[in-house]
Structure 1
Amino acid sequence: MCGTWRHGNASRNLKSDLKAGCKEIEISANESTLSIQGSITAKCTRSSSIPLESNPLQNQSHFCVFWEPLLDLMIVEVNGKKYTLCESHGLQGTCCTDLSLEDQKTATLYGIENGSIHGDTISYNVMELYRFRGDTINCKEKFCDEASQKRSGANMIEEVVMKSNKTGRVDLPCAQSTIIEIKEGFTGLNFTLPAPRTVAPNMTPTVYLPSCLKSQSRITSKVVCTYYKDKSLFQRGSSDAVLLDDIVGLSVENEIIKNLPEPVRIRFHHSALPPNLSRRCVSWDTRRDNEVKWRYDGCETVKIHDTETECCCNHLRYFAILVQVEQKATVRHLEALTFITAVGCAVSLVSCLVLFYWLCKRRKGKDQSLLVHRGLVVATFFLCLCFSLTSTLANTENETVCKITGTLLHYSLLSTLCWMIVEMFHTFFLVCCASSSNLPSWVFYLSGFGIPALLVCRLLSIGDFYGLRKIMLSEDVTSLYFMCWMLDSDNSRLAHYIIIIGLLSVVVSSGIVMLFFVATKIRNRPEWRKNRMVFFSIWGLTCLFGTTWGLGLFSFGPLSEARFCLFCIINSCFGVFHMLRYYALEQMKKRCELSLDGGSGEADSKCSAFVYERHHL
């Protein structure tokens, strides 16, 4: 209640006489005294007379009486200065509230003018007394009902808990809080949140508060940790994801906490989730969003167990686990594709060994073409080898082994792509210049083996990118396929798109562009008409190495399954294509040598063309 107190110029005082109960309260005023008396408190009993500052030139004062029955708190403000008549005694269960005006008495000169309740004017006349009656109700239940109907309901709960002037456990029907006082020398705290009786103790969340929460500018700080079992305060409009029942709110008195050097850790206990559901830690900042909007940023999800998930967050607000159906990790015909790939990789491993022996035996001395070919064969061999072992090693579920295997698999893939790019540019240089380059050998090794090593080492220095990856069969979501590869995280996906997809794009685009320029360059040469099929066959095989990987860029849409099959078949047989290519050209060379022995003019022309074409390898 607020109003204007019309008084005399003499000394004035604030008189109070308050008792526990729920009978009535009177707010009255005369020439020298503003009086509040009656029985509406839960525990507070107070009788006092407080002298007020006087000003001989002032004959009226503005005042307000604030009553918070849930906290048993009464404050009177006169001319902007606050006087606490009843301190907070914690959150009250039964209290006197719903005060309604029962009686009022008019005055002639001194009293209360322009009396109002919550801004609504009661009377503009000068009144000597206002009398209010209240009802005894369950304050906690009413407060929770009001909070659940407002968007800022969760904030209301934390604010009233902070005002309760307590430390330790504070119970409400809609939430259970713990108030922790942080003092000098705070080194961190790990504790279990309080929970209602209906929840098993081992199912309540646990919270770790790091030492960096201690403010440098305050001697003591209060941290409110609230456990919400009822998620009606945090309704979310989207239907593709669901919040788990447990929600935890963390806040520090009069401070905004973000970008913590050491994260706050909240461990949630929940029932086992089906394999087709993903779980991620989310947070909602009421100061950032007026409506409930759960965000992934600022929190890292750590899956401790099938029934335990830990959220490591660098800020304080409201935290929960969001679950949704995971569609992207589901693959159709995964077992068939895995078998096809295993067979293809086995054949490619044998082909790479045979081809490498052939290239080493074929010619001695320094030959840059053979150096590039051998580099690509070695990278392809290790790619097929790592991919063949990844599922076997992943089934052991050893995190260290899987991390090493995933790192080697990623390195061998990047090395293969880099050597493919080196092969294409080297061949293009030979066709355009009709001679070998003078680049030192270490440039080729650096491009094929060194650059991928730098990229992988950079990823390892940033964070955890590699480990155990689980993929589900869409035919049976209860079955999981394990492989050692890049983890399913935002950073890993970003690295995948930037590095792998970037290199694939370079391979495919460079193969197409170079084929166009080569065809344009040799089109007007005299040997074109007789040997154009030979040129296209050689360059067709070269571009095949790039375009097959291009299938990976377009594995979506109605024909995605067919593209997946082609991708697995062709790329697992990558080593076989290498061997067939060199075998075909070796046969052409032998026929050329036999024709040269015959001495025909036509044979001379064809073999002269082959001498040029042989460099295109």
Structure 2
Amino acid sequence: MEKYTFRGDTINCKKKFCDEASKKPSGANMIEEVVMKSNERGRLDLPCAQSTVIEMKEGFTGLNFTLPAPRTAAPNMIPSVYLPSCLKSKSRSTSKVVCTYYKDKALFQGGSSDAVLLDDIVGLSVENESIKNLSEPVRIRFHHSPLPTNHSRRCVSWDTRQYIEVNWRYDGCETVEIHDRETECSCNHLTYFAILVQVEQKATVRHLKALTFITAVGCAVSLVSCLVLFYWLCKRRGKKTQISLVHRGLVVAIFLLCLFFILTGALANVGDEIVCKITGSLLHYALLSTLCWMAMEVFHTFLLIRKVFNSTLPPWIFYLGGFGLPVLLVGILLLTGDIYGKRSIVPSDDVNNTYHMCWMLKNEKSLLAHYIINVGLLAVVVSSGSVMLFVVVREIRNRPDWKKIHVAFLSIWGLTCLFGTTWSLGFLDFGPLSEAILFLFCIINSLQGFFLMLRYYALEQMKKKDRSISDGSSSGSSKQHMLQTHEKS
């Protein structure tokens, strides 16, 4: 009849389907279900995705293939997938697996606001099965442009059957950085996989190169000074006295600390993880031993000044406190695991030139151990050393020669190095003077062995001068008494 007019309009069904799927949270599932229910095998193209349907039959030994991609995609930028043999169910003669490549991220919007997905997303699913905890992982290799050095890349997955909203998760996948243009995801389940890129707010250190150079030079000078001082302490008359024992223990500990600090940077660059773990634990042991021997200096001075004991203590007590306690602490941390290894420090003026050292790792366990053991022991040594320094100064301030400026300075400076109070600068690294404090800390403490040698040399020179002035007098030198108050009762 003339009043009825029929018009037939063409509709792009695939495009309409993709448009509808992109508007729904489960749009990716819709696409995979349509592909799975079709009787197609091999490649299947949609405007929003490209799929490959593979049948796993009896005797399936695994398959490595390159995903289908849009015609405009560069061939060397298309992801590849390895399907392990354990993916084939033993209860079925054949299983159908769908591998889908999504170039459009519109189906996967959401998740972390401070991270960005790379363009390529791969979906893997097996017909009527939920695949988890594979004995051999599936491997998806992504190709991408080089990322800036302050960007981290992590493999992520999202199971839309478990999470309605987009929720990219790190668990279940390991990230293998092949090189700057290629990343492989090794995952023990099937779902949707992608690379999540996040800008790392790296903590940087200002003037790192200068601080490292200053500390290395100071440690080298202290190494030589400790060798000279140890020889003098062993050569002197009365070398078996208790005060000489304590001095030698501190000199050996400082020598080890400087030695391992010089070696840690070189070994971090050329050695493997095991070598770096051993070096880091030895450096930590040397640091703890230095602090413990400073505590022994304070303890022994307290005994001498207060005359707590009429007889000297057995040497093993000092060895146990100076060398034994650090062994126990480092041994416990080694048994705990994941404490020592390669530590990276980023200079603020050149973030691409990272400095590596063998030390405590940057994780929760290492941070807890650092605050409890390192900072705790340092606080004990500095506080007790400061108290003992005050007590010694009060004891000798009324001596006749104390009013001479150079004698007072040498006395206070020498005892400050012995008692470890110069390490208190580490607690002042904040505020507008933090950089100046940091330079002072590195200069003074790296040269500690050198300062101790100068102190001993000054004492020896003053002894010789006093002996020549007294002309054999048995009264002794007031200067010697004043400078060595912690060595004499």
Ranked by relative contact order (alpha carbons within 8 Å, sequence separation 6 or more), the top structure is 2
Pairing of 1:428-467 with structure 2 (within 5 A)? 428-434=298-304, 435-437=312-314, 439=316, 441=319, 444-448=322-326, 451-452=329-330, 455-456=333-334, 459=337, 466=341
- Residues 81-125 of structure 1 show CA distances to partners (whole Å, capped at 9, x for unaligned) of xxxxxxxxxxxxxxxxxxxxxxxxxxxxxxxxxxxxxxxxxxxxx
Q: Please name the residue that 2:29 is paired with.
A: 155
- Cα separation, 2, equivalents of 1:602 and 1:590: 10
Q: Please name the residue that 1:292 is paired with.
A: 166
Count of residue pairs the alignment pairs up: 464
Question: In the alignment, which of 470, 486, 489 is matched to residue 613 of structure 1?
Answer: 486
More helix by share: 2
Match status 1:283 vs 2:161: no
Describe the SS at the equivalent of 1:389.
Answer: helix
Say whether the 8 Å CA contact 1:301–1:309 is kept in structure 2. yes
Identical aligned pairs, as a percentage?
A: 52
Structure 1, unaligned stretches of length 5 or more?
1-132
Match status 1:164 vs 2:42: no
Paired letter, 2:375: S
C-alpha displacement at 1:386, in angstroms? Answer: 0.9
- Cα separation, 1, equivalents of 2:196 and 2:136: 23
Q: Please name the residue that 1:373 is paired with.
A: 250
Describe the SS at the equivalent of 2:353.
Answer: strand
- Superposed CA RMSD in Å reads 4.4
Q: 1:614 to 1:186 in 2, by over 3 A?
A: farther
- Residues 278-304 of structure 1 show CA distances to partners (whole Å, capped at 9, x for unaligned) of 323333343554432333444333222
C-alpha displacement at 1:178, in angstroms? Answer: 3.2
Paired letter, 1:294: W
- Cα separation, 1, equivalents of 2:88 and 2:465: 83
C-alpha displacement at 1:247, in angstroms? Answer: 1.8
C-alpha displacement at 1:583, in angstroms? Answer: 4.4
Q: Please name the residue that 1:87 is paired with.
A: none
- Cα separation, 1, equivalents of 2:468 and 2:278: 46
Describe the SS at the equivalent of 1:271.
Answer: coil
Question: In the alignment, which of 378, 393, 416 is matched to residue 508 of structure 1?
Answer: 378
Q: Please name the residue that 1:126 is paired with.
A: none
Match status 1:480 vs 2:353: yes
Paired letter, 2:353: L
Question: In the alignment, which of 388, 399, 420 is matched to residue 543 of structure 1?
Answer: 420
Bigger mean CA deviation after superposition, 156-165 or 212-221: 212-221
Match status 1:383 vs 2:257: no
Question: In the alignment, which of 75, 78, 82 is matched to residue 201 of structure 1?
Answer: 75
Say whether the 8 Å CA contact 1:383–1:412 is kept in structure 2. yes
- Cα separation, 2, equivalents of 1:559 and 1:216: 69
Bigger mean CA deviation after superposition, 441-450 or 296-305: 441-450
Match status 1:411 vs 2:281: yes
- Residues 347-400 of structure 1 show CA distances to partners (whole Å, capped at 9, x for unaligned) of 33333443344444446558551453244123223223214635xx73xxx6xx
Pairing of 1:176-187 with structure 2 (within 5 A)? 176-182=50-56, 187=61
C-alpha displacement at 1:259, in angstroms? Answer: 4.9
- Cα separation, 1, equivalents of 2:124 and 2:89: 15
Q: Please name the residue that 1:320 is paired with.
A: 194
- Residues 111-169 of structure 1 show CA distances to partners (whole Å, capped at 9, x for unaligned) of xxxxxxxxxxxxxxxxxxxxxx9975332212211122222222333333333355543
TM-score (norm 2): 0.76
Q: 1:200 to 1:238 in 2, by over 3 A?
A: same
Paired letter, 1:376: A
Describe the SS at the equivalent of 2:98.
Answer: strand
Q: Please name the residue that 2:49 is paired with.
A: 175
Pairing of 1:484-503 with structure 2 (within 5 A)? 484-485=357-358, 492-503=362-373
Match status 1:274 vs 2:154: no
Q: Please name the residue that 1:244 is paired with.
A: 118
Say whether the 8 Å CA contact 1:257–1:316 is kept in structure 2. yes
- Cα separation, 2, equivalents of 1:593 and 1:218: 101
Say whether the 8 Å CA contact 1:282–1:299 is kept in structure 2. yes
Say whether the 8 Å CA contact 1:427–1:615 is kept in structure 2. no
Describe the SS at the equivalent of 1:224.
Answer: strand
Question: In the alignment, which of 286, 302, 306 is matched to residue 180 of structure 2?
Answer: 306
Describe the SS at the equivalent of 1:295.
Answer: coil
Describe the SS at the equivalent of 1:346.
Answer: helix
Describe the SS at the equivalent of 1:275.
Answer: coil
Q: 1:560 to 1:264 in 2, by over 3 A?
A: farther
Pairing of 1:253-268 with structure 2 (within 5 A)? 253-260=127-134, 262-268=136-142
Describe the SS at the equivalent of 1:439.
Answer: helix
